[in-house]
Amino acid sequence: MSRRRLRLNPEGKLFFLYEPGKQVSSAVRIKNVSRSYVAFKFQTNAPKSCYMRPPGGILAPKESILASVAKFIEPPEHPAEKTEKRNIKDKFKIVSMKVKQGTEYIPELFEEHKEFVALESVLQVVFLDPQRPCKELEKLKKRLAEADDIKQAQKKPQNNKAAKVAAPTEGVIDEWRDRREKYLARQQEDIADSF
């Protein structure tokens, strides 16, 4: 296995408050620990109930980002079902690949260069009971507060570059609309080229 390019905090697990019927958030810090530029991409086995922001990007050497993840939690089939007893199958995978400085991130980058893609980490979803204090709950609250602070700082006009973070819900509709418009434009180009 190749050496890891990214360090994640937390590692191996992605914590969410267990609030059935609601959209909840989590955050994970991703740091490029290599000497190269690195493209990364989130993947999930539950794309209909989860959204990652950003879903991918490129990090310079030693650069880090606080990525946000939003997840809708379905109400349990049996209301008496305990959080800890639930069989949680949702997972997130983070893959990476070394890229040249100046490379523009596009999701297709990973499809075009599959042979260079490395699995960085698989994050298992873990639900936390908001009524039961624990160190993971406190750490989650701190990461979410930091993400919110960064988001607020980005709203204010600044000359200096603030730390990167992406809010899980803000701009999601716009981003999906933009993706759809780009997709439709590519389809039109393909149709025009086929004539």
Query: What digits encode the pLDDT tens for the residues 74-92?
Result: 887 766 665 554 557 888 9
Q: Which of 34, 31, 26 is nearest to 51 (CA)?
A: 26
- Provide the pLDDT for residue 49: 85
In 3D space, the residue among 83, 87, 63, 188 whose CA is nearest the CA of residue 137 turns out to be 83
Q: Are 162 and 51 in contact (CB under 8 A)?
A: no
How far, in Å, are 153, 182, 183, 191, 194 from residue 188 at the CA level? 39, 10, 9, 5, 10
> What pLDDT, on the 0 to 100 scale, is given for residue 162?
47
Amino acid identity at 100: K
Listed residue (58, 65, 66, 61) closest to 97, CA to CA: 58
Q: What is the reported pLDDT for 156? A: 75
In the predicted model, is pLDDT for residue 130 greater than 80? yes
Give the model's pLDDT for residue 170: 45
> pTM to 2 decimals?
0.73
Per-residue confidence band for 107, with pLDDT thresholds at 50, 70 and 90: confident
Q: For position 174, what pLDDT does the model report?
A: 59
Mean pLDDT computed over every residue of the chain = 82
6-153 carries CATH number 3.60.40.10: no
Domain extents for the chain? 6-153
Nearest-CA neighbor of 169 among 21, 69, 49, 66? 69
Reported as a single tens digit per residue, the pLDDT across 42-65 is 999 988 888 888 999 999 999 999
Residue % of the chain over a pLDDT of 90: 56
Q: What is the pLDDT of residue 76?
A: 78
